[in-house]
């Protein structure tokens, strides 16, 4: 059975990737945040502000808990504590040391955290964003008008502010760096999914069309030959009906391996349809393509298959002719395959000869 991915499934997969990326980013950022608090604890201890040092030690521990929760996939609780660890800490530190300490900068880190989070409705994001902005303005107004609970010397305050500025820049940069890294990996997975046949691991139809069209362009430009081998498993319906669909799938997977083993690195084997395979052979003329086809056919004929019952394949071979389309070249391989089926199966059949066969480029030496 050919499994096709519906648009809805694709959308769900992309949400899943986004979700995974989001948690991966948070898991990587949590130790950095813990380290920043740890540095503050040492800094304040050095300044003789032991209560502030203790407070920062508590937040280091909190980030440790958040990290543990993220690793254990207790995501909801981790996010809840994130609100305590970032805006909660900013509020506390600003009230204790004053607005000029610059602890309020950390509130801004919640903006990317909130807006890339998966699973939330856009309205929830906007609402939370608005609440955060209101909180930030209110903190500005109240902290500027009240005396800090535990003021420190102006010079030291400057250093704390500079450190907070630098940390905010660093964490924002790190967030962006990790996020784009994770998204890049997810993109690679999606690309592979979109171009690979899920059962056999071969190129899928979309990918082989791209490859073949690219080779046709190259053939036009450089005048190199290009051939196609289209193979179809013989009496596959009997295999399915007699030995079950799962055995049928196993046969298809094994066939993919056999086909891959008889071609060069630069040739591409694809699952063209249910039990049909297409091989694109760049820089290969008809004679050589016929040899590849026979190699594949014999490998199938002599292969060891489930239940030790023979499995064979009929193949049609064609060479792309200048100025024709990919569909025309494949149609001729298909026509040859069709003749092979009628002639008794388990054979390789060449396309019907061109009107001017000599006009076709021939194979350079293959391996």
Ligand X SMILES: Nc1nc2c(ncn2[C@@H]2O[C@H](COP(=O)(O)OP(=O)(O)OP(=O)(O)O)[C@@H](O)[C@H]2O)c(=O)[nH]1
Residue ranges binding ligand X (CB under 6 A): 1-2, 199, 232-237, 240, 245, 248-249, 252, 274-275, 341, 345
Nearer to ligand X, 32 or 199 (CB): 199
Structure-token pair, residue 38: 């740890």
Supply the minimum distance, in Å, between the C-beta of residue 235 and ligand X.
5
Strands of the 276-282 sheet, one edge to the other: 268-271, 276-282, 226-233, 313-319, 348-350
Contact indicator for 174, 180 with CB cutoff of 8 Å: no
The three-point CA angle 232-234-239 to 5° equals 120
Q: Is residue 246 flagged as an active site residue?
A: no
Nearer to ligand X, 203 or 216 (CB): 203
Nearer to ligand X, 174 or 338 (CB): 338
Sign of torsion, CA 76 79 83 85?
positive
> How far is Cα 226 from Cα 50, in angstroms, rounded to an integer?
77
> How far is Cα 86 from Cα 104, in angstroms, rounded to an integer?
9
H-type helices in 223-325, by residue range?
236-243, 245-261, 286-301
Supply the minimum distance, in Å, between the C-beta of residue 271 and ligand X.
8
Nearer to ligand X, 188 or 273 (CB): 273
Supply the minimum distance, in Å, between the C-beta of residue 206 and ligand X.
17
H-type helices in the chain, by residue range?
7-46, 50-71, 75-83, 89-97, 110-115, 122-145, 154-195, 205-222, 236-243, 245-261, 286-301, 326-342
Q: Count the residues in the chain.
A: 367
Question: Which one is catalytic: 215, 275, 283, 351?
Answer: 275
> How far is Cα 311 from Cα 253, in angstroms, rounded to an integer?
13
Place of tokens 């009496």: 235
Nearer to ligand X, 74 or 345 (CB): 345
Place of tokens 């995501």: 75
Structure-token pair, residue 221: 């430009």
Supply the minimum distance, in Å, between the C-beta of residue 269 and ligand X.
16
DSSP 87: I
Contact indicator for 178, 25 with CB cutoff of 8 Å: yes
Structure-token pair, residue 170: 């660093």
Nearer to ligand X, 249 or 335 (CB): 249
Nearer to ligand X, 100 or 249 (CB): 249
Place of tokens 């937040």: 59
DSSP 196: B
For 344-358, give the DSSP string. Answer: TSS-EEEPPPPSSGG
Supply the minimum distance, in Å, between the C-beta of residue 232 and ligand X.
5
Contact indicator for 198, 253 with CB cutoff of 8 Å: no
Which positions are annotated as active-site residues? 275
């Amino acid at each position: 059975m050919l499994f096709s991915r519906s648009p809805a499934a694709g959308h769900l997969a992309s949400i899943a990737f986004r979700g995974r990326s989001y948690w991966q980013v948070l898991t990587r950022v949590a130790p950095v945040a813990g380290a920043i608090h740890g540095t503050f604890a040492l800094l304040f201890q050095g300044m003789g502000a032991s209560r502030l040092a203790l407070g920062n030690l508590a937040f280091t521990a909190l980030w440790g808990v958040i990290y543990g929760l993220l690793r254990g996939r207790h995501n909801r609780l981790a996010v809840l504590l994130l609100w305590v660890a970032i805006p909660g800490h900013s509020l506390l530190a600003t009230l204790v040391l004053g607005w000029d300490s610059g602890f309020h900068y950390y509130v801004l880190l919640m903006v990317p955290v909130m807006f890339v989070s998966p699973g939330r409705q856009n309205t929830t994001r906007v609402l939370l964003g608005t609440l955060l902005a209101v909180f930030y303005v209110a903190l500005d107004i109240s902290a500027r008008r009240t005396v800090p609970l535990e003021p420190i010397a102006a010079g030291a305050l400057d250093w704390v502010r500079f450190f907070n500025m630098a940390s905010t820049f660093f964490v924002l940069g790190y967030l962006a760096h990790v996020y784009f890294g994770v998204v890049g990996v997810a993109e690679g997975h999606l690309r592979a999914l979109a171009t690979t046949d899920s059962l056999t691991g071969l190129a899928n139809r979309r990918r082989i069309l791209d490859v073949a069209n690219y080779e046709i362009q190259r053939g036009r430009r450089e005048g190199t030959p290009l051939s196609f081998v289209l193979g179809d498993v013989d009496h596959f319906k009997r295999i399915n009906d007699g030995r079950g669909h799962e055995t049928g799938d196993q046969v298809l997977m094994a066939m993919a391996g056999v086909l891959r083993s008889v071609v060069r690195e630069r040739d591409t084997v694809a699952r063209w349809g249910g039990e049909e395979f297409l091989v694109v052979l760049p820089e290969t003329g008809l004679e050589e393509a016929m040899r590849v086809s026979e190699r594949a056919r014999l490998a199938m004929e002599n292969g060891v298959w489930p239940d030790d019952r023979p499995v064979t394949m009929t193949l049609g071979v064609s060479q792309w002719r200048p100025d024709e389309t990919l569909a025309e070249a494949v149609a001729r391989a298909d026509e040859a395959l069709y003749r092979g089926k009628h002639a008794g199966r388990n054979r390789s059949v060449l396309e019907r000869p061109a009107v001017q066969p000599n006009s076709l480029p021939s194979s350079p030496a293959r391996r």
